[in-house]
Amino acid sequence: MMEPAHAPGRDRLSALPDNVLRRIMSFLNARQSVQTCVLSRRWRHLWRSLPRINADYTEFCFACLDEKKEKVQEARFKKFVSTLLLRRDPVPLLDKFWLRYQVSDGNNNEKASAEAGLWISHALQLQTPVVEVLTFQFPLMLDHAVFTSDYLRKLGLSNAYLRMGFFEQLSRGCPQLEDVFLNDCIILDDEISSTTLKTLNIYASRFSEDYRASISTPSLTSLTLYKPDASVPSLKDMKSLVSASIILDDNTDIHELLMSLSGVRNLDLECPQKMVTIAKNTQWCPEFKDLVNLSLGQFCLGSKLYALTEFLKNSPKLEKLTLDPPEVIIDKLEERSFECEHLKIVEVICSEDDSTLLKLVEDIFVTCGMSSLQINRKSSYKQYYSDDFFRFDYDSTTAQEHAE
């Protein structure tokens, strides 16, 4: 006889316990989750106690060309988020607050930013450990006093204007903060200082031209600095750093930069060729005593492979090397002045049909007697950031740790 749960037409989803339903619904955008209240009496209030809030402006207005209609939909979105937060059951704590927002009127930026600040403040009062805010058009100008929470562990901001004192407030007001992700932000602080941060990712963000900022984070284990604009911050007190990805468009003191990274185990580096050319007659490359994985951009394969030679010479424990070479390599290693006895794998970033480039890299190492290396092709695709970069990277342990 057929079990009732498997009977034709039976609503299996509604047969699940409430906590499982809430978990599933938390992956929906906020508007979608609220709309489930019409399904049945049981579903009427489930949205009020979801562990996540995903408030997405594009659900109300996506690629809207009518300016008048856009303003109406923007007002609807603001009212929706405010009402959602006010009507949410305050007892279940929040695991994550995710907001995709649009500031379409530069003259109304302060007011729009203040409203977003109130939403963030409300989420922090619900003890959420994760806040992530993405903004379109004009940057969000948040009052950094909003960020006061003993529970916030991860903060992500995209297209935000961060006034002087922002990082000082994070350090004082958020004692548990471990992970900061910034994309396309304007950073006015002259010092990014924290004793709790373990992960710091800064993508395509602009620092002040009037002074050089510094990053001082003794507990940091992972750092990404992707194409900083206007100036490159100096790195200080990086004694716990394990992995670093530094992609530069502008010049900086390469010796100072590499000295601050000399204790890492994993390094991804791309910088202008002239940075190395200028430093060629100096001791610019320190010894990387613990470096195991190294990824180098096109700069290392010019000027008779001088930069590549220096890195190999100063990385005695290197096991894996990844190269992102130019389409044509005309230089060769003139002499083998390094050991690299632990180097086993060389990856070459190139397309599947580019066997010539793969062979050129292989010849570089064969020429200097390193014929036993395993040389592989690696996909040329690198995703450094997208709008949903941190939308669904939620670790299930976050909820458990938060509950404990």
What is each CA distance from 38 to 48, 153, 230, 237, 243, in whole angstroms? Answer: 14, 35, 52, 55, 49
Please give the average pLDDT of every successive group of 10 residues along the chain, which has 404 residues.
49 76 81 80 82 89 69 87 91 91 81 94 96 92 95 96 96 97 96 96 94 96 95 94 93 88 96 68 84 90 78 92 74 62 87 74 75 78 55 41 38
Closest by Cα among 124, 170, 120 to 140 = 120
Residue 356: predicted pLDDT? 75
Secondary structure, 3-state, 245-264: EEECCCCCCHHHHHHHCCCC
Residue 403 CB-density burial (10 A; 0-12 exposed, 13-18 middle, 19+ buried): exposed
Strand partners, 374: 345
* Alpha-helical regions (H) of 88-228: 109-125, 166-173
Structure tokens at 348: 């070459």
Report pLDDT digits (tens) over 65-115.
Answer: 677 777 788 889 999 999 999 999 888 889 999 999 988 777 778 888 999
Residue 329: predicted pLDDT? 59
Residue 127 CB-density burial (10 A; 0-12 exposed, 13-18 middle, 19+ buried): middle
CB proximity list for 214: less than 8 A, separation 6 or greater:
190, 191, 192, 233, 234, 235, 236
Residue 247: predicted pLDDT? 93
Question: Domain boundaries in the chain?
Answer: 16-50, 64-241, 266-380
CA gap 88, 46 in Å, rounded: 10
Residue 179: predicted pLDDT? 97
- What's the predicted TM-score (pTM) here? 0.86
CA gap 336, 240 in Å, rounded: 32
